[in-house]
Amino acid sequence: MSFEPVRVASMGLGRWANVLADAALRGGKIKLVSCFSRTDEKRKDFMKKYGTREAKNFDEFLNDDEIEAVILTTLAAAGKHVYCEKPIAHTLEDARKIVEAVDRARVRLAIGHSARRLAPSRRLKELMDSGEIGDVSMNESNFCTERGLELTPDKWRSDPELNPTGVVIQLAIHHIDTFRYLHGPIHSVTAKVKRMYATANVEDSAMIILEHENGVLSYVGGGWSCPWAFHMNVHGTKAVAHFRITGQQWRDPSKAPEPIRLHIDRDPLGEDSVHDMPEGDMFRDALEDFAVCVREKRIPEVDGRVALESLAAVFAAMESSKTGKTVELKSFM
């Protein structure tokens, strides 16, 4: 039985709208049919590049019956299914309102926490579930870029109200969500977050320890004032599994000169091994899973409630940093 592509429109046509549109075109389960932005030039450019039509005003966008789903967050009340890039919101209050609105409208909401769909993230889950690396006690991760050194007053990421917690909500949240995927719900957060060298008044350095409800400890580092770094280590009683990825492997592994490699270290308990990961496309996969959920009427892997937990961990990290205390996540949920 052939799959009927879900008819999707994009709203808010900044840089990341193009990234997601490109990812959608790399698959076959989403058909871009329309777009909307308050900026006429952005609408025209997007329409020309992706072959969509444009909605010239918001009401026209809302009332377009051909649109089944939207890449953004504000259209659930109009009966449209919604794909929202991470985070679900920039405040917990707004995140809760989004979850409630989606529940009332009975539509599908998927949040683009795509890092959990990296090929090595999926393989790590398989290794854990099979018992191949033994019982896991701790994890380490880091995500860094130079973006904090490029902030100017005209960029929204320079505004602490639009970008609360800085590097935590921008980068560290990726690993927070992946560890939540690997090890289950988060019980508490201990953290130190501060501004070091960012060219705006936002936090650019973070060290965060998550304690999961099953007792596993996960360390998440985030840096916004240094060159690219992205890595993860999972420590089990039988092996340590770890990987690093480059910026190109993050954006589109098919164009990277080398595959992502997952290392399994067993010495002195066994032989070490290195595994080339299959070519993956986490952005495409997240969008296509959303499309399948729309067609099959099932809940997306990262729905509003899962995304709310990751966002709660972000704000719990800031609270821990301010108070110098470990913070239980339930107080933010």
Instruction: Give the domain CATH number at 223.
Output: 3.30.360.10
Assigned domain for 99 exists: yes
For the chain, how many residues are written? Answer: 333
pLDDT of residue 73: 37
Same domain, 87 and 149: no
User: Is the pLDDT higher at 16 or at 198?
Assistant: 198
Distance, in Å, from the CA atom of 278 to the CA atom of 185, rounded to the nearest integer, reads: 28
pLDDT band at 54 (very low <50, low <70, confident <90, very high): confident
Assigned domain for 321 exists: yes
Assigned domain for 265 exists: yes
pLDDT of residue 85: 85
Distance, in Å, from the CA atom of 114 to the CA atom of 91, rounded to the nearest integer, reads: 20
Same domain, 266 and 318: yes
Distance, in Å, from the CA atom of 102 to the CA atom of 94, rounded to the nearest integer, reads: 12
Same domain, 227 and 141: yes
Same domain, 61 and 158: no
Of all residues in the chain, the percent with pLDDT exceeding 70 is 98
Same domain, 160 and 253: yes
pLDDT band at 53 (very low <50, low <70, confident <90, very high): confident
Domain with residue 22: its CATH number is 3.40.50.720
Peptide bond into 268 cis (omega under 30): yes
Assigned domain for 43 exists: yes
Q: What angle do CA 23, 28, 30 make, to 5 degrees?
A: 70
- pLDDT beyond 70 at 77: no
Same domain, 294 and 324: no
Assigned domain for 1 exists: no
Give the predicted TM-score (pTM) of the model.
Answer: 0.86
pLDDT mean across residues, the chain? 92
Which residues lie below 8 Å from residue 253, measured CB to CB, with a gap of 6+?
119, 259, 260, 277, 279, 280, 281
- pLDDT beyond 70 at 58: yes
Assigned domain for 307 exists: no
Domain residue limits at 65 = 6-113+285-302
Instruction: For the chain, state the CA radius of gyration.
Output: 20
State the average pLDDT over residues 153-164: 93
**pLDDT, tens only, 62-71:** 788 898 888 7
Domain count, the chain: 2
Assigned domain for 133 exists: yes
Same domain, 145 and 187: yes
Assigned domain for 292 exists: yes
pLDDT of residue 78: 67
Same domain, 146 and 94: no
